Amino acid sequence: MTKKERVLEIQKIFAKVYPDAECTLDYKNPLHLLIATQLAAQCTDARVNLVTPDLFKKYPSENELAEAEIEDVEKLIHSCGFYRAKAKDLVGMAEMVKTKYNGVLPDTIEELTLLPGVGRKTANLIVGDVYKKPAVVADTHVIRITNLLGLVNSKDPKTVELELKKILPPEESNDFCHRIVLHGRKICIARRPKCDECILSGICKYNKDNKKDKK
């Protein structure tokens, strides 16, 4: 079975078990999703969802956030970790969205990654979830699990992103990444995967290699 055939089989299984392939960050507009995703770096989505209501209430758009005092933003996002760098990036991002893009987020990876604090992972999420274009969000779950499955052989986010783009059907790529995240939180947990409960045990390279080692 080729990697393309395997990834189609995995996506077919995922679609049955995780029919709702959605981002777990709470947001009401594209800018809020971008902000929440930036805050989620080295932080859980659950924690971010506790912080953003007050942040969005005080700074509902790029206009208010661009004029914000960085220290005030720091206080609101303190519990998300790396709050100083994140606050500086958020204000800088809002300024750029306001002045260069007239309040509309760009729709390409290249332009999005010009914004302060926006890397390829965040840019792909915006491209995929907001603009519904094919995208691969190479977060920690996607990197770890696609390596275990034998779909890629790299820990570098950009390499994983580009390798998955070669084998994933474009129309399936966004949902595939969301479902990988759900699977990583529920079953394929870092350092303690529940292989006996895994729906992908018959396809997973890691699981097959482990069985060989035990014989």
Nearest partner of 36 among 20, 19, 24, 18, judged by Cα = 24
Catalytic residue among 139, 156, 166, 215: 139
Please give the full DSSP string across 21-77, using - where no structure is assigned. Answer: ----S--SSHHHHHHHHHHTTTS-HHHHHHHHHHHHHH--SHHHHHT--HHHHHHHH
**Residue 121 known to be catalytic:** yes
Respond yes or no: is residue 205 known to be catalytic: no
Closest CA to 173 of 17, 21, 38, 41: 21
CA distances for 144 relative to 76, 99, 138, 147, 169, angstroms? 31, 38, 9, 5, 20
| Amino acid making up residue 41 | A
Catalytic residue among 89, 121, 129, 175: 121
Rounded to whole angstroms, how far apart are CA atoms 119 and 142?
Answer: 16
Report, as residue numbers or ranges, the catalytic residues: 121, 139
